[in-house]
């Protein structure tokens, strides 16, 4: 037990051979977290969720248009349909908690509070982009907002995010690492190597599986022997929960519980967010693997933004007020697009910078 | 001001066919409705409406071919407004001036000079030729070998139902069924090991990496298991397996998706490494790779997939692994390249010809084992050599060629061997930087002049 003098209850030192099993499990071995009560939102919470989700939706629609115009190149993966996941989790998170995800990252960055102009200018490869135009849609980072990327290799962020959790454990701080990955990524070997270490060392990591039912053209039933992703930690004794990822309230409640679990030193936890992407995997997706009806049904019956809109109207918020919120989101996005179009490309000298310090 | 433009739907798309309008003029559309279908050489894709409104005008009729990206194809009037979108309508401002160059694909090969017949003819001179794309040639090679040998099977991500992420395995599932065309989960390290194990047991797997960038997840099984088992078992068992997929940069896919693995795999004893340029070589060499009793890393290139070349139509067209091809004759300078690098070599040779410099081009085709003899023979004639590759300079394939020439052709060299390579940096996303990061024909011309002291 050399390195850590701040080890809290339940946390084990990496490398320690101590045999203690200090996880606060229920005495009868039953579910240690207990049920997660879906908490109703206050009107302010609903308004915030509405605003944040709408910003992501409008941003992504614009990005899709700009890709079509050739202003954005390469791979561009839109988040439309999944907005409730990042917004709900962000509503539960605290400053200091880290976020890491895959290439489908625009929504996560906006939810983290990263500047839409900087995100859009990165999409167009301009010098004002968050990575100076060098990273593109899949690779953006923000030290300031504790956003650790934007990773193109499926599954890689799961080990990296576990490392962020390790750093929290090492420093003995109260922060939690929020690690997002897809249903497809859940089959990568390093995910399980990470699970084992995270539970072994009781690292503060929330593994958030964004189960949007498809990995490119492969549905979860065609790729996964066990499609209940909340159970993927079972052989490591990591608890998990399935969550309606289209309902921002359910997401926030689950994230609240998971973060509390991590903050009291109980180790990692898995949240399977059941969600859906409306658009193709990337812009070049022939979408022959699912029916139009399936997509239309999700949009019409489960849309995360529409759910909040209905609630707000019922609570007496007027159409005009909601229109104003939408106009606000559109204005932010238009300004970002304008900036991303006018901002110059990086200086050629940038080609050979940032390779080593 | 029309607000539906012919969209770019993939990193490499420049034009496409407007296959079908799914909405009629005057019809109402909601955000998310599919309004049209577009065909590219890879796939059919759908165009979704972004705004709600009425499809008030169709500007490009269905069936129109070669519609350039960004051509106005129709107009959606929003919210019952007149045709001209009001300030509220969410139309992205057109770039004031072409602020960014359109995504820059490496140069297309120019009209290819008729390749001189190889020293030993690889097919009869009067063989009928058929034009096909590299993509089709690869598919045909796999299909022919699967018909010939039922121990051959394909596995990888999206190879079966999706017909291949880059459509190289198109139709194979339909012909051979799901037992021989196997969709895997995203588990490269695992399925590569499964493939190598199956090969050790005597099957002949073709493992597709969606792109070679993802082979890095699996490189341990390729190097430690596939490449070394024959040696470690004292010759008892090897692994007859092909690892194939697109390698190197595509267009604007940035640092993690643009890596060239030619040098990496060429480092490994126990592997063969093939990197064809033409469709004929792709076909003949892939068939050879599938039949080879050794593990073969077969490096394709996404940008070449859609390019057409003549392929001899003869039964069982198999080419030898380990033999280079003289792609153009000349006596002043030898250009050595392979795969996409050949596009720069050909372009440069034409530019040099305008200056009266006749370049000889050696298309290496196989990186390991390397046909040093053919390079040396050419250099004995020209006395000068420039190598061209998209990969990084340090310990690259060009470095190996230079070292071999220093030993095997020292007395024939009139100048140091020069390398034209990708720049020594991760691949940037920005269009202008990406262009700078990749080699260019101009750099090849410059290097050729330098070795000629001009
Ligand atoms: C190691 C690796 N293998 C394959 C790919 C190609 N690829 C990119 S995204 C993707 C599908 C991932 O699906 P999922 O994890 O469900 O995330 P989603 O795209 O649905 O958000 C694949 C196969 C990759 N980028 N990295
Ligand atoms: Mg998915």
Task: Supply A199's token pair.
Answer: 């539970």
What number of residues does chain A have? 357
pLDDT recorded at residue B406: 98
Burial class (CB in 10 A: 0-12, 13-18, 19+), B61: exposed
Cβ separation of B432 and A222 shorter than 8 Å? Answer: no
* β-pair partners for A180: A208
Higher pLDDT, B54 or B132: B132
Q: Is the dihedral of CA B118, B122, B125, B127 positive or negative?
A: negative
State the pLDDT confidence band at B76, using cuts at 50, 70 and 90. confident
DSSP 8-state secondary structure symbol assigned to residue A104: -
Distance between CA atoms of residues B113 and B2, nearest Å: 43
β B359-363/A177-182 pair status: unpaired
CATH T-level topology, domain B325-451: Rossmann fold (3.40.50)
Find the mean pLDDT for residues A214-223.
Answer: 97
Over residues B173-224, the pLDDT tens digits come to 999 999 999 999 999 999 999 999 999 999 999 999 999 999 999 999 999 9
pLDDT recorded at residue A240: 97
β B308-312/B272-274 pair status: unpaired
Over residues B349-400, the pLDDT tens digits come to 999 999 999 999 999 999 999 999 999 999 999 999 999 999 999 999 999 9
pLDDT recorded at residue B110: 43
How far apart are the CA of B404 and the centre of ligand 1, in A? 40
pLDDT recorded at residue B79: 62
Burial class (CB in 10 A: 0-12, 13-18, 19+), A269: buried
How far apart are the CA of A222 and the centre of ligand 2, in A? 12
Answer whether residue B121 shows pLDDT above 80.
yes
All residues of chain A having their beta carbon less than 8 Å from the beta carbon of residue B188 are 188
All residues of chain A having their beta carbon less than 8 Å from the beta carbon of residue B253 are 74-75, 136
B214 C-beta closer than 6 A to ligand 1: yes
pLDDT recorded at residue B113: 45
Find the mean pLDDT for residues A222-239.
Answer: 97
Higher pLDDT, B96 or B420: B420
Higher pLDDT, B379 or B26: B379
Residue B257 annotated among the catalytic residues of the structure: yes
What percent of chain B has pLDDT above 70? 89
Over residues A310-338, the pLDDT tens digits come to 999 999 999 999 999 999 999 999 999 99
Domain A48-336, CATH number (from 3.90.420.10, 3.40.50.2020, 3.40.605.10, 3.40.50.970): 3.40.50.970
Find the mean pLDDT for residues B298-312.
Answer: 98
Contact B382, B358 (CB under 8 A): no
pLDDT recorded at residue B69: 82
β A205-211/B152-156 pair status: unpaired
State the pLDDT confidence band at A18, using cuts at 50, 70 and 90. very low
Q: Nearest ligand to the C-alpha of residue B256?
A: 1
Where are the domain boundaries for CATH 2.40.50.100 in chain B? 3-91
Answer whether residue A236 shows pLDDT above 70.
yes
Q: How far is A172 from chain B (nearest CA, A)?
A: 32
Higher pLDDT, A306 or B61: A306
Find the mean pLDDT for residues B109-114.
Answer: 44
Q: Residue A148: which H helix or E strand, with range?
A: strand A147-151
Task: Supply B139's token pair.
Answer: 């598919």
User: For residue B134, how many C-alpha atoms fall within 13 Å in the half-sphere facing its CB?
Assistant: 21
Task: Supply A341's token pair.
Answer: 């179009």
Answer whether residue B271 shows pLDDT above 90.
yes
* β-pair partners for B310: B131
**∠ Cα A76 A80 A83 (to 5°):** 120
Closest Cβ–Cβ partner in A125, A184, A283 for B431: A125
Residue A310 DSSP SS3:
helix
Answer whether residue B119 shows pLDDT above 80.
no
Answer whether residue B90 shows pLDDT above 50.
no
pLDDT recorded at residue B17: 87
Answer whether residue B272 shows pLDDT above 80.
yes
Distance between CA atoms of residues A305 and B135, nearest Å: 42
Closest Cβ–Cβ partner in A73, A126, A216 for B162: A216
Answer whether residue A135 shows pLDDT above 60.
yes
Over residues A168-215, the pLDDT tens digits come to 999 999 999 999 999 999 999 999 999 999 999 999 999 999 999 999
Distance between CA atoms of residues A31 and A53, nearest Å: 32
Burial class (CB in 10 A: 0-12, 13-18, 19+), B111: exposed
Distance between CA atoms of residues B402 and B385, nearest Å: 8
Where are the domain boundaries for CATH 3.40.50.920 in chain B? 325-451
Chain A segment 219-278 residues within 8 A of B by beta carbon are 222-224, 278
Answer whether residue A2 shows pLDDT above 80.
no
HEC readout, chain B: CCCEECCCCCCCCCEEEEEEECCCCCCEECCCCEEEEEECCCCEEEEECCCCEEEEEECCCCCEEEEECCCEEEEEEECCCCCCCCCCCCCCCCCCCCCCCCCCCCCCCCCCCCCCCCCCCCCCCCCCEEEEEHHHHHHHHHHHHHHHCCCEEEEECCCCCCCCCCCCCCCHHHHHCCCCEEECCCCHHHHHHHHHHHHHCCCEEEEECCCHHHHHHHHHHHHHHHCCHHHHCCCCCCCCCEEEEECCCCCCCCHHHCCCCHHHHHCCCCCEEECCCCHHHHHHHHHHHHHCCCCEEEEECHHHHCCEEEEECCCCCCCCCCCCEEEECCCCEEEEECCCHHHHHHHHHHHHHHCCCCEEEEECCEEECCCHHHHHHHHHHHCCEEEECCCCCCCCHHHHHHHHHHHHCHHHCCCCCEEECCCCCCCCCCHHHHHHHCCCHHHHHHHHHHHCCC
For the whole model, what pTM was predicted?
A: 0.88
Answer whether residue A102 shows pLDDT above 50.
yes
Cβ separation of B186 and A187 shorter than 8 Å? Answer: yes
Contact B384, B413 (CB under 8 A): yes
Contact B314, B124 (CB under 8 A): yes
Find the mean pLDDT for residues B410-430.
Answer: 98
State the pLDDT confidence band at B66, using cuts at 50, 70 and 90. confident
B217 C-beta closer than 6 A to ligand 1: yes
Q: Is the dihedral of CA B258, B263, B266, B269 positive or negative?
A: negative
How far apart are the CA of A354 and the centre of ligand 2, in A? 32
Answer whether residue A3 shows pLDDT above 50.
no
Higher pLDDT, B4 or A276: A276
Residue B267 annotated among the catalytic residues of the structure: no
Contact A128, A134 (CB under 8 A): no
A104-113, B39-48, B86-95: which range is least confident on average? Answer: B86-95
How far apart are the CA of B433 and the centre of ligand 2, in A? 31
Cβ separation of A133 and B429 shorter than 8 Å? Answer: yes
pLDDT recorded at residue B120: 63
Average model confidence (pLDDT) across chain A: 92
Q: How far is B270 from chain A (nearest CA, A)?
A: 26
Find the mean pLDDT for residues B323-346.
Answer: 98
Instruction: Give CATH for domain B3-91.
Output: 2.40.50.100
Ordered alpha helix ranges (H), chain A: 43-68, 83-92, 106-111, 116-123, 156-171, 189-200, 220-223, 248-263, 292-302, 304-314, 319-342
Cβ separation of A188 and B426 shorter than 8 Å? Answer: no
Over residues B124-171, the pLDDT tens digits come to 999 999 999 999 999 999 999 999 999 999 999 999 999 999 999 999
Over residues B4-25, the pLDDT tens digits come to 888 887 777 778 888 888 888 8
B208 C-beta closer than 6 A to ligand 1: no
Distance between CA atoms of residues A155 and A102, nearest Å: 8
Q: How far is A312 from chain B (nearest CA, A)?
A: 22
pLDDT recorded at residue B83: 45
Average model confidence (pLDDT) across chain B: 90
B146 C-beta closer than 6 A to ligand 1: no
Q: Which atom of ligand 1 is nearest to the CA of B257?
A: 25
Distance between CA atoms of residues B401 and B338, nearest Å: 13
pLDDT recorded at residue B179: 98
Q: Which atom of ligand 1 is nearest to the CA of A82?
A: 21
Find the mean pLDDT for residues B247-261.
Answer: 97
Counted across chains A and B, CB pairs separated by less than 8 A come out at: 211
CATH T-level topology, domain B129-312: Rossmann fold (3.40.50)
Answer whether residue A147 shows pLDDT above 80.
yes
All residues of chain B having their beta carbon less than 8 Å from the beta carbon of residue A347 are none
Q: How far is B253 from chain A (nearest CA, A)?
A: 4
Distance between CA atoms of residues B261 and B271, nearest Å: 13
Q: Residue A271: which H helix or E strand, with range?
A: strand A269-274
Closest by CA position to B19, among listed B7, B3, B36, B32: B36
A154 C-beta closer than 6 A to ligand 1: yes
Closest by CA position to B23, among listed B64, B93, B73: B73
Over residues A278-298, the pLDDT tens digits come to 999 998 887 889 999 999 999
């Amino acid at each position: 037990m050399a390195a850590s003098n701040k080890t809290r209850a339940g946390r084990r030192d990496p490398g320690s051979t101590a045999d203690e099993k200090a996880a606060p499990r229920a005495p009868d071995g039953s579910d240690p977290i207990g049920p997660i009560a879906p908490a109703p939102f206050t009107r302010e919470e609903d308004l915030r969720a509405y605003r944040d989700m709408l910003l992501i939706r409008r941003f992504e629609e614009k990005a899709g248009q700009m890709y079509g115009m050739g202003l954005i190149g390469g791979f561009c993966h839109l988040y439309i349909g999944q907005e409730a996941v990042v917004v709900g989790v962000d509503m539960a998170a605290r400053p200091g908690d880290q976020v890491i995800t895959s290439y489908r990252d625009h929504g996560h960055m906006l939810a983290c509070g990263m500047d839409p102009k900087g995100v859009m200018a990165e999409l167009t490869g301009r010098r004002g982009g968050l990575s100076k135009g060098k990273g593109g849609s899949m690779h953006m980072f923000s030290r300031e907002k504790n956003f650790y990327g934007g990773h193109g290799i499926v599954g890689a962020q799961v080990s990296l995010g576990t490392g962020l959790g390790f750093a929290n454990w090492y420093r003995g701080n109260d922060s939690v690492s929020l690690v997002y990955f897809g249903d497809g990524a859940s089959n990568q070997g390093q995910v399980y190597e990470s699970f084992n270490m995270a539970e072994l060392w009781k690292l503060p990591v929330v593994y958030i599986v964004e189960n949007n039912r498809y990995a490119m053209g492969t549905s979860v039933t065609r790729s996964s022997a066990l499609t209940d992703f909340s159970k993927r930690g079972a052989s490591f004794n990591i608890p998990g929960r399935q969550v309606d990822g289209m309902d921002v309230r359910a997401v926030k409640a689950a994230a609240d519980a998971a973060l509390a679990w991590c903050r009291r030193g109980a180790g990692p936890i898995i949240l399977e967010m059941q969600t859906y992407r409306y658009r193709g995997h990337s812009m070049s997706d022939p979408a022959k693997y699912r029916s139009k009806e399936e997509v239309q049904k999700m949009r019409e019956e489960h849309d995360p933004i529409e759910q909040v809109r209905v609630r707000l109207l019922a609570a007496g918020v007027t159409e005009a007020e909601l229109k104003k919120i939408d106009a606000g989101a559109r204005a932010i996005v238009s300004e970002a697009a304008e900036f991303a179009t006018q901002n110059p490309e990086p200086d050629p000298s940038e080609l050979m910078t940032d390779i080593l310090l | 001001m029309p607000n539906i433009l012919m969209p770019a739907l993939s990193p490499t798309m420049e034009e496409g066919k407007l296959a079908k309008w799914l909405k009629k003029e005057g019809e109402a559309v909601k955000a998310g409705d599919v309004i049209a279908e577009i065909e590219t050489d890879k796939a059919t894709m759908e165009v979704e409406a972004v705004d709600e409104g009425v499809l008030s005008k169709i500007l490009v009729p269905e069936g129109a071919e070669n519609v350039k990206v960004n051509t106005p194809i129709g107009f959606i009037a929003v919210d019952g407004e007149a045709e001209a979108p009001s300030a509220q309508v969410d139309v992205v401002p057109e770039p004031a001036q072409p602020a960014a160059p359109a995504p820059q694909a490496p140069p297309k090969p120019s009209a290819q000079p008729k390749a001189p017949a190889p020293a030993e003819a690889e097919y009869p001179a009067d063989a009928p030729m058929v034009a096909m794309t590299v993509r089709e040639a690869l598919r045909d090679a796999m299909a022919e070998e699967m018909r010939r040998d039922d121990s051959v099977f394909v596995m990888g991500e999206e190879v079966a139902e999706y017909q291949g992420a880059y459509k190289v395995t198109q139709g194979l599932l339909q012909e051979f069924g799901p037992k021989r065309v196997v969709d895997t989960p995203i588990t490269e390290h695992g399925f590569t090991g499964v493939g190598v194990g199956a090969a050790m047991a005597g099957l002949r797997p073709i493992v597709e990496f969606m792109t070679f960038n993802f082979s890095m997840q699996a490189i341990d099984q390729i190097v430690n298991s596939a490449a070394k088992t024959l040696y470690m078992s004292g010759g008892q068992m090897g692994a007859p397996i092909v690892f194939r997929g697109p390698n190197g940069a595509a267009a604007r896919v940035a640092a993690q998706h643009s890596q060239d693995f030619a040098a990496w795999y060429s480092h490994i004893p126990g592997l063969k490494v093939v990197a064809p340029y033409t469709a004929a070589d792709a076909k003949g060499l892939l068939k050879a790779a599938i039949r080879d009793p050794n593990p073969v890393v077969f490096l394709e290139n996404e940008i070449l997939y859609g390019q057409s070349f003549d392929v001899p139509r003869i039964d069982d067209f198999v080419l030898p692994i380990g033999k280079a091809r003289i792609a153009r004759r000349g006596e002043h300078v030898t250009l050595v390249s392979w795969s996409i690098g050949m596009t720069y070599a050909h372009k440069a040779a034409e530019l040099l010809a305008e200056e009266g410099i006749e370049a000889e081009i050696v298309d290496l085709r196989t990186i390991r084992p390397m046909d040093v003899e053919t390079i040396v023979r050419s250099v004995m004639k020209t006395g000068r050599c420039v190598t061209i590759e998209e990969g990084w300079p340090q310990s690259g394939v060009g470095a190996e060629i230079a070292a071999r020439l220093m030993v095997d052709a020292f007395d024939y060299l009139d100048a140091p061997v020069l390398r034209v390579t990708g720049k020594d940096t991760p691949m940037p996303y920005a269009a202008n930087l990406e262009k700078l990061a990749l080699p260019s024909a101009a750099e090849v011309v410059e290097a050729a002049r330098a070795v000629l002291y001009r």
